[in-house]
Each structure stands twice: as structure tokens, then as C-alpha cells.
Amino acid sequence: MTQDDLKKAVAKAALDYITPRLNDDSVIGVGTGSTANFFIDLLADIKTSFDGAVASSDATAQRLKSHGIPVYELTNVHELEFYIDGADEINERLEMIKGGGAALTREKIVAEVAKTFICIADESKQVGILGQFPLPVEVIPMARSHVGREIVRLGGDPQYREGVTTDNGNIIIDIHNMDLSRPIKVEERLNHVVGTVTNGLFARRPADLLLLGTKEGVRSIPRKGV
């Protein structure tokens, strides 16, 4: 079984989970990345059972539209029942690192608004402690050096992501070797660095349900206490 097979399996599991819970007025939040792309392609099969989608990136909006799925601006949407997205890493509290695809800011906004965040991921994304995957931060271009210095002060190694401009016109700095054993604390600390737009720690608002693709099948793991 390939990693893509596992991604397809969790995308299908997400579709099966939401389908009976949708109605004609439902708007679905859709994430960004290869796992989310498998989900979008499956969503096309049930496009008459819901109203439309909110996209977490321009790429996702384009893919949704290519399937004839109406795409709405988040600001015009009254209620978002589900947000379905992948992750770069996820721990047992369903806290995540996201932003490998540079879409972290819009992803975090859509996740914040959605009632239920369903993370779809293959088993390679499950970790004990976050931080093997470099933590992305979206930064206003003029603040690049300042933010880099602040990251060093916080104990991380900043690396400018060459050649990447986000959908919001900003840059990405990836943080290596940072202690993320207390993700909420680090997320909040980085939120206070002037010039950062968003950091890719999704700990204050973790996922509610993880659909994890394993060779033995898809495991459904709700967040403890949900």
C-alpha cells in the first residue's frame, strides 16, 4: 500500500463521515495539499448534496471550481459545519504542524470558524512530539530579518523558504530545531512576534477528529474530551 493509497483511504473516510450530516444549505471548509486534493476529487461525486465550499487557498479554490463545486468567500458564509484538511504532523492531542504548502494563514482562519475540524492524514504524520517537521511562519516581507532574530532568541533556527510567496503576498520562514513540547505556549509566543501573520502550530484550535490512514485500515481518533 502506497502513501497515496493511505491518503485516498482517509479522504474517502472523511467523505463517508460528512455525507449523512450534510444538507442543501451546508458549506464545507476545504484544506490544501495532496491529501485534501484527494478529498476534493471525491467531493465532486456528492456536489448536489451540499451548497458549496470555502477554500483555504487559491489552488484549492481552483480545484473545487474545476469540479463545478461553488466556492464562497468565508466572510459571506454564515456557518461552516466541517473543515477537512491534512497536516504535516499531528500528535495524540490532535495538535498539528501545518503550512508545508504555505497555506497556513487561510487554513487557520477557516479552521477557527468551522464547528468540526477533521484532519485526514496518513500514518507517517503521527508523532509523539511535534517538531521534526520545520514549523512554518508566514511573515510580512519587511519584517523578515526582525522575525528571524526573534526566532533565534526563542531557541529556533529560522530558514527563509526560497521562492515562495503566499496567497496573501507574504514570505515563509521555516523554524528548525525548536522545542515544541508545549505547543500552545509556543504558538502563543510566536503570535506575539511583530511582523508574523500566522504560525503553523494548530494547538489552540486542534483537530476534533483524526482519520488516520494505516496499513491495517483507517483509524478514527476523536480528540479526547470531544
Interface residues with ligand 5RP (CB under 6 A) are 31-35, 85-88, 98-104, 107
Distance from C-alpha of 86 to C-alpha of 212, rounded to nearest angstrom: 10
CA torsion sign for 113, 119, 124, 127 is positive
C-alpha span between 150 and 158 (Å, rounded): 9
Nearest approach in angstroms of CB 190 to ligand 5RP is: 16
The catalytic residue among 89, 107, 138, 150 is 107
Q: How far is the CB of 88 from ligand 5RP (least distance, A)?
A: 5
3-state secondary structure of 159: strand
Q: Find the shortest distance in angstroms from Cβ 36 to ligand 5RP.
A: 6
**Minimum Å distance from CB 109 to ligand 5RP?**
13
Closer to ligand 5RP at the Cβ: 111 or 147? 111
Contact 27, 77 (CB under 8 A): yes
Task: Tell me the C-alpha distance between 159 and 151, whole Å.
Answer: 10
Spatial separation of the C-alpha atoms in residues 191 and 180, rounded to whole Å: 14
Residue 123 annotated among the catalytic residues of the structure: no
Instruction: Residue 131: name the closest of 173, 182, 197 by CA.
Output: 182
Tell me whether residue 23 or residue 127 sits nearer to ligand 5RP (CB atom).
127
Q: Residue 32 or 199: which CB sits closer to ligand 5RP?
A: 32
* Strand (E) or helix (H) holding 173: strand 171-176
Q: DSSP letter at 162?
A: T
SS3 of residue 196 by DSSP = strand
CB of 111 or CB of 143, closer to ligand 5RP: 111
For ligand 5RP, give the closer residue by CB, 38 or 155. Answer: 38
Q: What is the set of active-site residues?
A: 107
